[in-house]
Structure 1
Amino acid sequence: MSQKFGELAPSEYPGERLGLPEHGQGSIGRIGRRLIALAIDWALASIPAYLLIGGEFAMWWHPIIFVVLQAVFIPTIGGSLGHRFTGMHVVPIAGGWVGIWRPLLRSLLIIIVIPPLVWDSDQRGFHDKIAGTVLIRS
């Protein structure tokens, strides 16, 4: 029996279609860890924005600093400081080095909010799908 377009069998767990384990190291980073990591990263971006810049301009610098921190830490240590603190890291689906453009694209999409709210059955946000990345447990 052939499958029609859009008729994929449901996966047993997030990451199964990507060949990732169900639990433990290398499995998909779940929503709780993701939210904690995002809160940590957002708080870390607020420190220089509000303490060094302050005033009415801090709200404009805050997302810029967030993107810069993501672009620096994801390619160098494998994830943002929040990701690493919560035991996760970002990897490209195709393998290899994540590079600089993936973290930049990924974080720009995060700050416009909608892409992280759109998920697939593997619990990958639209920002990860567009960037060709997946957030996995370390």
Structure 2
Amino acid sequence: MAVSNDAGYPGDRLGLPPNGPGSLAPWGRRILALFIDWGLASLISWTWFNFNPWVTLGVFVLMHVALTGFLGVTIGKRLVRIQVVRLQPNAPVSIPGPLWALVRTLLLLLILPVIVISPDGRSAHDRIAGTVQVIM
């Protein structure tokens, strides 16, 4: 019995190219960017706030909301060359904006939406915010 793969490549259902700039970012890059961002938040907390876990979390959230909301990248995402863009029907891709970046970040902190992955290659936190992580 032959198995049909109607999904195509990751990002195909979203109209993204199969590879190169604008294609769906691979999971390795996404996870590495997350670790870099958490490391930077930890370094800031350790340097000026005696490594307070609430300050670390606050810095992480502030970085994600501000940088992703206004630039589409955090420092970690920029280093691994991925960007968060908002997909809107009948409109060009755009930067998420602070509101959608906040929604996305709060869902990221819940962890479960991050590990629920759809056939289009996005996690639930990206689907809910209408965003996708693409290669720059």
TM-score bracket for this pair, using the shorter chain length? 0.7 to 0.9
Task: Tell me how far apart the structure 2 counterparts of residues 99 and 125 of structure 1 sit (CA, whole Å).
Answer: 19
Give the TM-score normalised by structure 1: 0.86
2:11 to 12, 15, 26: 15
Structure 2-normalised TM-score?
A: 0.88
Percent same amino acid among aligned pairs?
36
Structure 1 spans left out of the alignment, 5+ residues: 1-8
Matches within 5 A, 1:36-47: 36-47=32-43
The answer (yes or no) to whether the contact 2:70–2:97 under 8 Å persists in 1 is no
Deviating beyond 4 angstroms after TM superposition, the runs of 4 or more aligned structure 1 residues are none
Q: In angstroms, what is the RMSD of aligned CA positions?
A: 1.4
2:85 and 2:78 map into 1 onto residues whose CA distance is 13
Which residue of structure 2 aligns with residue 78 of structure 1? 72
SS of corresponding position for 2:69? helix
Q: Deviations over 1:83-109 (max 9, x none)?
A: 111111010011334210111111111
Deviation per CA, 1:43-93: give whole Å up to 9, x if none: 0111122221115xx112212111100111113332111111111101001
How many residues align structurally?
128
- Following TM superposition, by how much is the alpha carbon of 1:130 offset from its aligned partner in structure 2, in angstroms? 0.9
Instruction: Give the deviation of 1:10 after TM superposition.
Output: 3.0
Gaps of 5+ in 2: none
The answer on 1:63 being equivalent to 2:57 is yes
**Which amino acid is the alignment partner of residue 32 of structure 2?**
I
2:31 counterpart residue number: 35
Aligned counterparts of 1:36 and 1:44: Cα–Cα separation in 2: 12
Residue 93 of structure 2 corresponds to residue 99 of structure 1: no
Partner of 2:21: 25
**What is the alpha-carbon distance in structure 2 between the residues aligned to residue 86 and residue 80 of structure 1?**
10
Answer whether contact 2:84 2:132 (CA < 8 A) is retained: yes
Equivalent residue in structure 2 for 1:88, among 82, 101, 106: 82
Alpha-carbon distance between aligned partners in 2 of 1:86 and 1:136, rounded to the nearest angstrom: 11
- State the shift of 1:18 in Å: 0.5
